[in-house]
Structure 1
Amino acid sequence: MVYVSERKSARGVYVYERKNTRGEVTSHQVKWRLAGEWQTEKFEGTDAQGAQLFADAVRENGGRWPAGWVRGEGFISVPPEMRFAAYALRRLELRTGIEERYRAAAIKELRRYILPTFGECDIRSSEHFNSDTIAAWVLKMQRTKVRRGREMRPMSPKTVRNLHGLLASILGDAVRAEPPLRERNPCALTRLPRADDHGIEEQDEDMTFCTPQEVEAIIGRLTRPADRHLAVVAYGTGLRWGEISALAVRHVLDLDGAKPRVQVARAWKRHPDATYYLGAPKSKASRRFVRISPSVVRAFRDAGVSPDRPASDLIFTNDHGERLPHSSFYERWRKAVKEAQEAGELASHKAPTPHDLRHSHAAALISAGHGLPYVQRRLGHESIDTTNRVYGHLLPEADDDAMATVESVLAGRRPVLRAVG
């Protein structure tokens, strides 16, 4: 079948005739964009009038699916409060224990990626929500292109998994409702894409690992002393940007002691209106104490940390003593990266961001033989699975150690154990 005829029935809403090889009209398709994504509905046979009426309804509804219309089924009779869109939005609005920024982001993604398919469905229906309909939606998400930098690329497996998790959490609420609205959650049956389903690890394109020499070359080209101090702290601790920029003088402990350390007790957060506030770190595991080396101690001293300075003062700030925006530091960082590349001290294919100092910190620890559990605690990962997924591939020596252990056992010798922490 091919498209052979097109009519614009309304602003941005199109009706296509589809014909077979004999030129006979076999169906009509209505097509329009919603939140940047193409939406389609098919009308079998010669029902041009039905397609036209539906297109008009889309236009009258502001380019959204008409209320009560389920894709592929038409209008259905569902109590308004049982429609998935109404139920999901209500559950997200009432959800406790989450930050407002997360709530706003979840509602935004719900509207853009989930409601166009399931918005008018009955939350109680096993026909609307089952393993097949969920799988079809996941496939659609995998084929959806999103902007990454200057390019449009297929949605990453991680994003698909996050969206599926959002849908699963809402259907889970319906299962746990009193009385229950559903017997089970069909999302539990979905086989989700893995990070390497496209042949490469998702992190490969998102992370850059720099050697200590490359880090030194970049830091040496930062012209502002405060920027150099910050970069040394970032590489020496592995803290996230929001954690570093939220450090106050009181969070740097025992500078003159045998075991100086940094307390990670807060981080900069962003309200839905894009304003910032100091809140809890990313997770419970992110609340931590991080030991620091002599070079990091010197960086803190040079940055003005001393007993005479007010304990509540931010250590790294803008020129007015306020929160240091990532964007302003990033511009100066990018200039230093370019100069290091031009000097031949940084590989031309590497374009590290300030966050890559955290990744490079982890790489340095792992290359020195420190185990993933130690790296997990130091970086503040909630789960060892996260640490393994992101950094596990940096352990090539693990195979050598494993083979030596196996061979020792097979040869009747006692395996030699080494300290890794």
Structure 2
Amino acid sequence: MASVHARKNRDGEITSYQVKWRDAGRREGDPQWATEKFDGDDEGAAAAAIFKEAVDEAGQRWPAGWVKGRGYIVPEEPGAGGEARYRFRAYATAIVETKTGIEEHYRKACMRELEMYVFPTFGECDVRSVEHFSSDTVRAWVRTLEQTRVRKGRGPRNRKMSPKTIRNLHGLLSSILAEAVKAEPPLRARNPCENTRLPRRDDGGASAADEDIEYLTPQEVAAIRDRLTLRQDQLMVEVAYGTGTRYSELTALAPYLLVDDDPARVQLRIHRAWKRDGEGGYYIGMPKSARGRRSIRVSTSVIEALAELRRVDGLEDDDLYFRGDQGQRLHYSSFADRWHRAVRRAQKDGLLPAYKRPTPHDLRHSHAAALISAGHSLTYVQRRLGHESIRTTSDLYGHLLPEADDDAMETIETTLRGGRTTLRAVASA
């Protein structure tokens, strides 16, 4: 079996990774051991692990098409011209750069993910090759992603890559190979990604924390809110938890979006959101999806919070409810820093469990969980949150607040003892 070895300098820093194996394909007189060297960063570690798998699958031989020190190299045919365009790096780059109907920040995010997690393994592969791109090589790549450590926020790389992230990366690779299948004439007969078994959210004992979701009870939300020192921040928590809006939607709200013609049925129009412009800036555009453009009923607490913001700050109809010191877009990092300080204070005061590490986005998750635990239908929650698919709603919110578990245990215990439970009506959409 091949093995991966970290090579270190005198200071103990990893400078490279070496894959070493007994070469079963060596000729007489050749060295018994074969080695290949990779960079000493995270990408090099991932590439080394993938290459080790390829050596093992090749029977302790150099993988087909691999050139020592260079990677997968496809010899160009004399006079063919343009063969380099079929290298995955070039082909994928062309596909992403010419893709229509996507926003520029998404295009750049795709290229960033390709550079970090796909090109180190498949960059020099031939998109047409059934050896370079097969069910085995894609599966080996996914196995390596499952072992890849990533960071959350500014912390160290100490978290396993989440199943959702792996699925997204696999989907990106699959979409590019699908283009090769649909090319005229076709470059491939099939897409090897179609047969990959991907990790589920519950694989390996994964929990909500592995998906970066923390469900907060109403009492925990109040504890964090009360430990924020700026009144705007406190009101922002009230509105975020009371509406379930995304941060990009929440910070784009303006007074004219509050429709109060009928005082008994006040609605908030979620018709715009902050979008990245692809150049490091932001502009106000449409919400995340078509269903994201919605109008939702709001409660008295939300109405009062928005009214206070407008009254105290003297806001005009087009002004932002939540903004920075100069009236500009409220940067996420500015609010998040204050939020995390409040989280730590709530934990210190014993009002929030130490294991919970909620982010501002968890107010949206907690809003949904509170509705579901009270018996509201997934369809209602889907429409209120603006999810494009109800499957997204179902997948995200399978775990409910403790109160829902208490109700369930009472129901089960009653039925086990031969009693009859009291059924409650479930709200429809």
Please indicate the TM-score interval, normalised by the length of the shorter structure.
Answer: 0.7 to 0.9
Matched, 1:379 2:380: no
Tell me how far apart the structure 1 counterparts of residues 255 and 19 of structure 2 sit (CA, whole Å). Answer: 65
Deviations 1:209-249 (A, max 9, x none): 22212222222232222112111100100111111001122
SS of the aligned residue for 1:37 comes to helix
Q: How does 1:108-187 map to 2 (within 5 A)?
A: 108-148=112-152, 149-187=155-193
Structure 1 counterpart of 2:425, one-letter code: R
Given the alignment of the two structures, is residue 29 of structure 1 paired with residue 35 of structure 2, yes or no?
A: yes
| Secondary structure, counterpart of 1:28 in structure 2 | strand
Indicate conservation of the 8 Å contact 2:272/2:284, yes or no. yes
Please list the CA deviations of residues 321-364 of structure 1 after superposition, one character each: whole Å capped at 9, or x if unmatched.
11011222222222333333333333343332222211221122
Aligned pairs for 1:183-202 within 5 A: 183-202=189-208
Residue 216 of structure 1, aligned match among 219, 222, 235: 222
Secondary structure of the residue aligned to 1:102 is helix
Q: Give the direction of change, closer, same or farther, for the CA distance of 1:113–1:345 in structure 2 (3 Å limit).
A: closer
Name the CA shift for 1:147/1:121 in 2 (closer, same or farther; >3 Å): same
Cross-structure match for 2:26? none
Aligned amino acid, residue 87 of structure 1: Y
What is aligned with 1:330? 336
Alpha carbons 1:114, 1:167 under 8 Å: kept: yes
Indicate conservation of the 8 Å contact 1:12/1:32, yes or no: no
Q: CA deviation at 1:5?
A: 13
**Residues 419 and 141 of structure 1, relative CA distance in 2, 3 Å threshold:** closer
Aligned equivalents of 1:314, 1:399: Cα separation in 2: 42
Written as runs of structure 1 = structure 2, the 5 A alignment for 1:204-353 is: 206-254=212-260, 257-304=263-310, 309-353=315-359
- Structure 1 residues not aligned, in runs of 5+: 48-52, 59-64
Cα distance 1:390–1:310, how it changes in 2: closer, same or farther (>3 A)?
A: same
- Tell me whether 1:92 sits opposite 2:96 in the alignment: yes
Report the counterpart of residue 104 of structure 1 in structure 2. Answer: 108
The SS at the match of 1:418 is coil
How far, CA to CA, are the matches of 1:28 and 1:7 in structure 2? 20
Identity of aligned residues (%): 47
How far, CA to CA, are the matches of 2:113 and 2:329 in structure 1?
29
Shift, 1:205, TM fit: 6.0
SS of alignment partner, residue 203 of structure 2: coil
**Which deviates further from its counterpart, 157-166 or 328-337?**
328-337
Label 1:338 to 1:117 Cα distance change in 2 as closer, same or farther (>3 A). closer
Q: Tell me the residue number matched to 2:27.
A: none
Q: Match for 2:105: what amino acid?
A: R
Q: Secondary structure at the match of 1:364?
A: helix
1:267 and 1:355 map into 2 onto residues whose CA distance is 15
Alpha-carbon separation, structure 2, partners of 1:321 and 1:262 = 21
| One-letter amino acid matched to 2:139 | A
Aligned in 2, Cα 1:4/1:327: closer, same or farther, shift over 3 Å?
closer
Amino acid at match of 1:126: V
**Cα distance change on mapping 1:350 and 1:153 into 2, 3 Å:** closer
* Matched positions, count: 392
Q: CA deviation at 1:195?
A: 1.6
Match of 2:427 in 1: 420
Give the letter for the 1:258 counterpart: A
Distance in 1 between residues matched to 2:118 and 2:279, nearest whole Å? 23
Q: Which amino acid aligns with 2:138?
A: I
CA-atom RMSD, angstroms?
A: 3.8
Listed one character per residue, the Cα deviations across residues 94-129 of structure 1 (whole Å, up to 9, x for unaligned) are 101111111111111112222222222222222322
Task: Return the TM-score normalized by structure 2.
Answer: 0.79
1:61 paired residue number: none
Equivalent-residue separation in structure 2 for 1:7 and 1:360 (angstroms): 46
Alpha-carbon distance between aligned partners in 2 of 1:3 and 1:208, rounded to the nearest angstrom: 36
